[in-house]
Structure 1
Amino acid sequence: MGGLHSVNNGSGNGGGSASTPTTAGRKRQSVDGVEYPRRRATIACEICRSRKSRCDGSRPKCRLCIELNVECIYREPGIKLDAGDKLILEHLNRIESMLHNALPASPSQMQMHGGAASPAVSATTGLSDDILAKPTLNLANAGTGGNQVGLGTWTNFSSMPKVHSTPALNLLQWPKIKQLVSREYNPQHLLQLELNRTPLQLNSSLTLDLSNTAAYVQAFFERVNVWYACVNPYNWTSYYRTALSQGFRSGAESCIVLLVLALGNASTRGSISRISPDEDPPGMSYFSAAWGLLPSLMTRTTMMSAQCSILTAAYLFYIVRPLEAWTLLSSTSMKLQLLLSTNPPAMLPTASRELSERVYWNALLFESDLLAELELPHSGINQFEESVGLPCGFEEEDEEPVVGGRDDLWYFLAEIALRRLLNRVSHLIYSKGTSTSISSLAPVVAELDYQLTQWYENLPTPVQFPHSRMLLSNPVQTVLRLRYFACRTIIFRPYILAVLENEKLGHDSTVRENCRKCLEACIRQLEHITEHHAGHMPYLWQGALSMVSQSLLVMGATMSPSLASVLPPPDQMDVMFQDVIEEVERYSHLAPSLRMSAEIIREAEERRQMYQRNHGMRV
């Protein structure tokens, strides 16, 4: 790295290896600090584990896998789970079981309870393999009786559809909402702005100050690793020592340590939107040093080099460089597909498999979030979803975990389950060629809403957010609540379109109730706009576009007499929209796509108020 110099490395202990207790310190801990017993071996195969069935342990195939005619995969004998991991997996398996469900044949088979599908229907619907093999659901035929229509296999819904209408700017083509802007927009405008953006310029020869290493490493493990769960706190000290011995000038360990310092530093400064545009983003010196190591690592086909790419992408999302993140992730995806095809996770040693699972899921989550807003090529990484298991906990090493370090998987697993559901929503409602007529939409929406409810109800207590309107102090609960309402919004959003196209539909009680659910979910995301700061490390760019999307939807609703009647009073709406405008404008200097988003939302509010005055809807 040429002129890279490290100065004042403090104690040189890797930013947190110093400390404390002996054997008790090595016990895994839950979120609330309760110590768990040592791990115990499990023998259930992956299929039995996912179905929560008793496995007879027969090799090479257990009885259930023989009956299902599927591959039977056992965890390595050395893999052990502690009580905390078992709780995580138990809750996630419940969530996943809901997402395996299929719709019944006709509306008469849907037992409706408060607008949601009956658990008796949703939890027990069984379809034959040939039905489940169908990749999509033909909504035009749903509910006609006679032929069952499957929701598709798990794999078919693991990524966003290649053509879909979920992006925020698609709303500008809707009736009434298109009157809120003076020019035509579409998602390609966002992409083109990012393509034409000035390339990221980094100086990898900066002097590297390691005096705050301990604080930044602790901040990373306390505030950042919860979102990505891809750095092992139990072998961190050995990574740091290796990086230190190399002078942070070469090797995957050096790159990982520098990226941890960059992200840890960033997490100590709050929202990047509140940092002066004239100031370098916090952590940039560490990131620049890591960036200088990437070219040599990009040519290495190893899981650690892929791990470096994931952490790099995380920082690129933090500084709102979505297209650079996608470019890096595309290369990483190819590397992961090669690694997974030549070394299936089930055949890897415990530690290697755990890391590969976490890197894989991060890559898939990142890609899905980008594909939800931008028309980008798909990498194909989703094809490995069924062969890659869910992470269940890093094995403890001989050394103590870093100070502040804990292997917290609850958010990460909950996000995997929710992203799968979001992708399913996009396939069933928003993919090209699907019918969204009111009659065909009802059973699909009811089932998806039921699955979202089950996702929430099966969240472990430490991350299960309250439904109250109070501000939350727990950032994980805050982000999950925002993601929950974003998913709920998109499930019910077609009903808003239906009323905007035909005002008479707003008088139908079922349509009106579903519109109310959609608008309520929108408002819950916008009423405390600063809540979005909790997700600024992983979701600032996505969160900003979500704000714009929900605001445009509610703005359109205020222009419809039947929809306006289910909204809060107009003066409350005015204040809420103004708060959104001010918040998005604070982000506008971070990316050209966000600058355009800020311009759109400000013009939309001005034209909305003018529309209401001209139509006698405003005193």
Structure 2
Amino acid sequence: MEDAVQSSPPRKRLRAVHACNICRARMIRCDGHDPCASCSASEQNCTYGLNPNHKGKTDLILAGVLRMEAALFDMRSMVSSPSFLGSQMTLPPIDSSLETLSSHQRSSPSSTSNADNLQNAVLDPMHTSATESILQWHHFDVFPSLRQTYISIFHLEQSREPIKLRASTMYLYVNGAEIDRIITSFASSVNFWYPTMSTDMLKAAQTRIADGKAADTTSSCLAYLVMALGCANLTISAAHHRAMGDIYMDTVLKKLCVVQTEVSTAATQCLFFVALYFAFVRRPLQAWQYINMAATQCRLLLSYSPANETSDDQECLRRIFWSCYILESDYLAELSALPQSGIALIESSIPLPAQYNTHANIQEEEQSSLYFLACISMRRLLNRVHHVLYARESGVSLDNGRFPSVVSELNHQLEEWREFLPVSLKFSVDAQETANEYGGFLRQRYLTCRSVIYRPYLTWIITNCMDTMTTPENVLGSCKSCLDACLLHIINLRWFAHTVFVDTWICSLSMTAAMLILLVACRLPVLRQLVGEEVLTAASYLKQLIQEWTEISGQPDSPSIEQSLRLITEIDGFIQQEYQGEEEYDLVQRVRGC
């Protein structure tokens, strides 16, 4: 009997057409029994709805993102309402201001329609949460050396030598196996993080490279860019691919005039990929320039759909739109005075990513879509946090009567975002390893957002020079949330390919900001007790990691990254002095006691 079972072909597992309500909410498999195995094991009340659920995981997370967006819109409307603006919550004491918003405020729909309350997730010009803005806090006046040799990021990057092109164009001969390897590298990295290329487009690019066609067309440029970015990703593990990537990129830059004179989805995609390559080689101004160009062309094509456009072309364009939205926001978060493309002004009217065949493996395609949606929703939340709390004219971070409730609601939205992540992307808020690098990257985004949300409490305490005896416990808890997030942001930094490839420059600045905040906290006894001891080794870990990343993409070095490393080193010296001074004081006290 056993032999008969073993010899029979394996049966394909049937998916339950109608999942129970509990399994559907948790997005796990349901065997369709009554009660199902999952509910029986967890002792849950297993119930079934009236209609079968035919939606896939991508549809479910999309619905969740839309629900969270609606809640954010309502929160934004509530913050700007006359009743909220007129509320008086003075500090100190601050205890009564720290109550979370009522469940009615969180869940009840606004009396007006959502259409009237839509607020786009746009970063305000000259917001006050960038690293350069933090360095201008008067709390750093006691550390004049931090500013004496500091040069603005824009001027450092703008004064760099221009990119030099080769005197003659080189066309590489690459065998079929190597082409496959490079295309696969592109698909598993760039096209996973920003899934804009369909499998058909990738096959066409691969065929064009294999045929050795070197025509001056947008299609050729797109094929070369796929190879350049695939080589760039391989550079993370094999340095010799950097030279290959540069050769492909050199060819693209010489043909780019063809792309720039064409108005099409393929041309827009080329502009976006050029921006990604400049991000990889740590050229932030050039990366922003091409993101801006791609975003502007997205706006044009979304406003005037070409006559011969297919549904796949439309979906591709929308995905490029959201990719540009994420990256432009990342750069504006640190260089707030950069002119904006206007892409954020229409983001609430652009559909989120839908069905699109980007990977041959269905599971990989689904994971890519979920990851992309998670990154989009987090970037939108980050933009609203910057807007509501730190807009130069209207931000509430310095308004003692308003920021506690706003912080509470924003943190509520952040936790809902984390709770709704699919199991494969979930992470714990600690220093434990994540199941995969995608969860690790999302945790870094989460920690960034959490530290920015709770920062107003920190600035309130350091501005009022509070001490342990007069500071309410719940205020200290909020400060600890900010400081823990800053420290965990540093501790959890890893060799995530997404970070190394795209975000090395941005990461160096955000880590500098985290170190600056930790330095301020270490100077006040009331806050120093909230800072973990890992702060004493954080800088050495950061410097080693960022230096290794910069070596991957080769010369020339980014002067703003070098400046960030210098600042991190100097900040670490001041932190060490603060702790050494405390140890010396304790030693003297013990000697006197004897």
Q: Is the alpha carbon distance of 1:388 and 1:186 closer, same or farther for their aligned partners in structure 2, counting shifts above 3 Å?
A: farther
Question: Of 546, 555, 566, which residue of structure 1 is paired with 2:510?
Answer: 546
Alpha-carbon distance in structure 1 between the residues aligned to 2:55 and 2:538 = 46
Distance, in Å, in 2 between the alignment partners of 1:402 and 1:471 is 26
Give the Cα–Cα distance (whole angstroms) in 1 for the partners of residues 230 and 61 of structure 2. 26
The alignment partner of 1:160 has SS state of coil
Match of 1:335 among 297, 316, 331: 297
Alpha-carbon contact 2:98-2:405 (below 8 Å) kept: no
Question: Given that residues 180 and 603 in structure 1 are in contact (C-alpha distance below 8 angstroms), is that contact kept between their aligned partners in structure 2?
Answer: no
The one-character-per-residue Cα deviations of 1:266-302 (angstroms, maximum 9, x if unpaired) are 2223279xx69xx956622222222222211111111
Q: Which residue number in structure 2 is paired with residue 195 of structure 1?
A: 158
- Higher mean C-alpha displacement, 370-379 vs 218-227: 218-227
Q: Quote the offset at 1:425 in angstroms.
A: 0.7
Deviations for 1:298-347, whole angstroms, at most 9, x for unmatched residues? Answer: 111111100111111111111111100111222223322222222299x9
User: Match for residue 377 of structure 2?
Assistant: 417
Report Cα offsets for 1:362-389 as digits up to 9, x if no partner.
Answer: 1111111111101211121223223321
Alignment of 1:276-315 (within 5 A): 280=242, 283-315=245-277
Match of 1:559 among 498, 520, 523: 523
1:430 to 390, 395, 416: 390
Give the counterpart of 2:118 among 140, 153, 157.
153
Q: Verify the 8 A CA contact 2:157 2:559 in the aligned structure 1.
A: yes
Q: Distance in 2 between matches of 1:554 and 1:531?
A: 23
Note the 1:483-498 alignment, pairs <5 A.
483-498=445-460
Question: Displacement, 1:426?
Answer: 0.9
Partner of 1:171 in structure 2?
Answer: 134
Relative to structure 1, is the Cα distance of residues 208 and 403 closer, same or farther in structure 2, using a 3 angstrom cutoff? Answer: farther
1:228 to 182, 194, 200: 194
Match of 1:124 in 2: 108
**Structure 1 residues without counterparts, runs of 5 or longer:** 1-32, 39-80, 134-151
- Percent identity of paired positions between Structure 1 and Structure 2: 25
Q: Which residue of 1 aligns with 2:69?
A: 96
Find the partner of 1:365 among 312, 321, 326: 326
Q: Aligned AA for 1:607?
A: F
Q: Does 1:605 align with 2:589?
A: no
1:162 counterpart letter in structure 2: P
For the Cα contact (< 8 Å) 1:240–1:257, is it kept in 2? yes
In 2, Cα distance between equivalents of 1:222 and 1:404: 12
Is the alpha carbon distance of 1:175 and 1:617 closer, same or farther for their aligned partners in structure 2, counting shifts above 3 Å? Answer: farther
Moved over 6 A (4+): 33-38, 111-115, 185-188, 402-405
Tell me which structure has the larger Cα radius of gyration: 2
Deviation at 1:222, TM superposition (A): 1.7
Q: 1:498 to 1:108 in 2, by over 3 A?
A: closer
Q: Cα gap change, 1:533/1:355 in structure 2, threshold over 3 Å: closer, same or farther?
A: closer
Structure 1 residue 550 displacement after superposition = 0.8
For residues 570 and 461 of structure 2, the distance between their equivalents in structure 1, rounded to whole angstroms, comes to 23
Contact 1:463 1:476 in 2 (8 A): yes
* TM-score for both structures, normalised by structure 2: 0.78
The 1-side partners of 2:447 and 2:14 are apart by: 33
Query: Residue deviations 1:6-29, cap 9 Å, x none?
Result: xxxxxxxxxxxxxxxxxxxxxxxx
Secondary structure of 1:439 counterpart: coil
1:15-46 deviation per Cα after TM superposition (whole angstroms, max 9, x unaligned): xxxxxxxxxxxxxxxxxx999999xxxxxxxx
| Number of corresponding residues | 513
- Give secondary structure in 1 for the equivalent of 2:152: helix
Distance 1:454 1:248, change over 3 A: farther
Q: Which amino acid aligns with 2:341?
A: S
Map of 1:74 onto structure 2: none
Query: Residue 64 of structure 2 aligns to a residue in which SS?
Result: helix
User: Is 1:594 equivalent to 2:578 in the alignment?
Assistant: no
- Spell out the pairing of 1:176-575 with structure 2 (5 A cutoff): 176-184=139-147, 189-203=152-166, 205-211=169-175, 212-242=178-208, 244=210, 247-270=213-236, 280=242, 283-343=245-305, 349-374=310-335, 375-394=337-356, 401=360, 406=365, 408-433=368-393, 434-435=395-396, 436-504=398-466, 507-531=471-495, 535-569=499-533, 572-575=534-537
CA contact (8 A) 1:411 1:463 kept: yes
Aligned AA (2:106): S
Give the counterpart letter for 1:171 in structure 2: I
Q: Secondary structure at the match of 1:376?
A: coil
